[in-house]
A and B are shown apart, each in its own frame.
Chain A
Amino acid sequence: MSVEVRIPTILRTFTGGAKAVHGDGTTLEQVLDDIEARNPGLKDRIVESEALRRFVNVYVNDEDVRFSGGLNAPTADGDVVVVLPAVAGG
């Protein structure tokens, strides 16, 4: 068991095209660090200055992590993390 992380199209260049990767950790940050080891460059597209990037949305199960601790949001085996780039502009 591990945490499944769903990767948006634009970041699949970091996962060899994979739509989802798996990582271990009891917080979102640990999971991201774990998958970064096998998918270098990915974390930098999600995290900036030790916080989530402003225009990236991350959900653990059904919860937007901005309301559940950000990078410290708890994760457990079997959880699903979804990364969605914000759809925004001017």
Chain B
Amino acid sequence: MGLIVRMYRSSRASAHSLTAVLKIAREHVDAMIAHAREDHPDEACGVIVGPEGSDVPTRLVRMINADRSPTFFRFDPQEQFELYKEMSTAGEEIVVVYHSHTSTEAYPSRTDIALAAEPQAHYVLVSTAESGAAEGPISVRSYRIVDGVVTEEEIDVTE
């Protein structure tokens, strides 16, 4: 389908190999990109959950952006609670939190950093700034955000 995905690494990160890595299936990367394009110019958000403690993302769940905003996102509290109950029953946890930036780069904003509250999660940013809702270059990057410290990590896409 002629998809161009740019998965950047910061210059600092590429100078020496990163220890952290997000291992993720191609279908999940494609699904995050599709979601980001559909919701452009508003921010899209969602999670990929997986077995607790596994660090393996297995099930992607699109979440409603309760703010329906091009500059902000927040999971709908009721939908988030339903997700919590599903995960509790299944022994799952959030492995990936993803959201899109629609006019800026795929790097956590100050708000993203201040509100990050899932220390076990990989934070994936998808930027539609370059191509919007259309086919074209799109960037996907992954980070850890713990105690206000952002650490970029490699994305290892599995087929």
Contacts and interface: CB of A to CB of B under 8 A. Distances in A.
B108 A89 contact: yes
Given A57-B80, A57-B81, A64-B78, A86 B109 contact: no
Contacts, number: 66
Interface residues of B, number: 29
Interface stretch (B19-27, B34-42, B116-124): B116-124
A90 B109 contact: yes
B146 to A, nearest CB: 9
Interface in B119-143: 119-120
Contacts of A86: 74-75, 77, 80, 115, 117
Interface residues of A, number: 17
What is the predominant secondary structure among interface residues of chain B facing chain A? mixed
A8 interface: yes
Contact of A55 (B63, B78, B99, B115): B115
A87 B45 contact: yes
Interface of B: 45, 47, 63, 67, 71-75, 77-78, 80-81, 84, 93-94, 97, 99, 108-112, 115-120
Query: 9 shortest A-B CB distances, which residue pairs?
Result: A90-B111, A85-B117, A89-B112, A88-B74, A87-B75, A90-B109, A57-B77, A90-B72, A10-B117
12 contacts: A10-B118, A57-B81, A82-B81, A84-B77, A84-B81, A84-B84, A87-B97, A88-B67, A89-B108, A90-B73, A90-B109, A90-B111
